[in-house]
Amino acid sequence: MSVVLSERLVAPSILSADFGRLDADMATVIDAGARLIHVDVMDGHFVPVITLGPAVVKAIAPAVHERGGALDVHLMIEHPERFVDAFATAGADAITVHQEACVHLHRTLAQIRETGAQAGVALNPATPLETLAEAREYTDLVLIMSVDPGFGGQRFIAGSLDKLRRARAYLPAAVAIEVDGGVSLDNAATLVEAGANLLVAGNSVYGAADPALAFRALAAAVASAG
């Protein structure tokens, strides 16, 4: 994949984009400098909402890859192991599964890596970091949910900041830390200082009057954080 997950990056989430004009909405942020596009997959079971599946990832992947971008696919679904191969074949560059949805997490992370994609594991706000005691050695990315998954535009759960700090100390240095939910210009630098290097931004980019400008402002805040 063309994008290195250990970099500091803002990943716009297309959950808040216009699904009727995804190509144009993605081009807007890629032209503004985005390299990682966050794709929220929801199944109506693990979370209440249904969003999109591998067919949509396949449709958007060429335009993202041609522009030097990568697809960060966040699976908020039950039995993610049944769909990993389909999302990888469709063009996902990183695939993140929920710890809460995986009975055989070791096997599923290995399955993701076997496809050539980077493997990630996500934790809901109420799931302790320590549930990754064994898995932390074989994941490329840990996604800390800072809202309960299912919807864009929710308020950042304040305790997530401390969880990020503890995650940075708890996880091997090579493991990227992504924060997802309620990321804004107000907290972006603080989140980086707490240990996150990948910041998902849905509403704060696509809910803005000028998404390109909003992306650039977030990217600048992330780049200049201490």
Q: State the catalytic residues.
A: 40, 180
Burial class (CB in 10 A: 0-12, 13-18, 19+), 125: middle
Residues at the contact surface with Zn ion, assessed by CB under 5 A: 40, 74, 180
* Residue 203 interacting entry, from ligand DX5, Zn ion, none, C-beta within 5 to 8 Å by type: ligand DX5
Comparing CB distances to ligand DX5, the nearer of 10 and 171 is 10
Rounded to the nearest whole angstrom, what is the least distance from the CB of residue 182 to ligand DX5 in the complex?
5
Rounded to the nearest whole angstrom, what is the least distance from the CB of residue 48 to ligand DX5 in the complex?
10
* Residue 201 interacting entry, from ligand DX5, Zn ion, none, C-beta within 5 to 8 Å by type: ligand DX5
Hey, which residues does 70 pair with through a beta bridge?
36
Pairing state of beta strands 198-201 and 176-180?
parallel
Are 211 and 13 spatial neighbours (Cβ–Cβ below 8 Å)? Answer: no
**How large is the C-alpha radius of gyration of the chain?**
16
| Interface residue with ligand DX5, options 59, 63, 113, 153 (CB under 6 A) | 153
- Taking CA atoms, 154 is separated from 79, 138, 184, in Å, by 25, 31, 11
Task: Look up residue 28 and give its two tokens.
Answer: 């807007």
Other CB atoms within 10 Å distance of the CB of residue 224: 10
Told to check if 92 binds ligand DX5 by CB under 6 A, we report no
- Report the site for ligand DX5 in 59-88 (rule: CB under 6 A): 74
Q: Is the dihedral of CA 179, 173, 61, 32 positive or negative?
A: positive
Helix (H, G, I), strand (E, B) or coil at 74: strand
| Interface residue with ligand DX5, options 35, 38, 98, 163 (CB under 6 A) | 38
| Interface residue with ligand DX5, options 53, 154, 170, 190 (CB under 6 A) | 154
The amino acid sitting at 166 is R
Listed ranges 12-20, 125-133, 168-176, 185-193: which one lies at the site for ligand DX5 (CB under 6 A): 12-20
* Residue 170 interacting entry, from ligand DX5, Zn ion, none, C-beta within 5 to 8 Å by type: none
| Interface residue with ligand DX5, options 201, 217, 218, 222 (CB under 6 A) | 201
Other CB atoms within 10 Å distance of the CB of residue 82: 10
Interface with ligand DX5 (CB under 6 A): 13, 15-16, 38, 40, 74, 147, 149-154, 180-183, 200-204
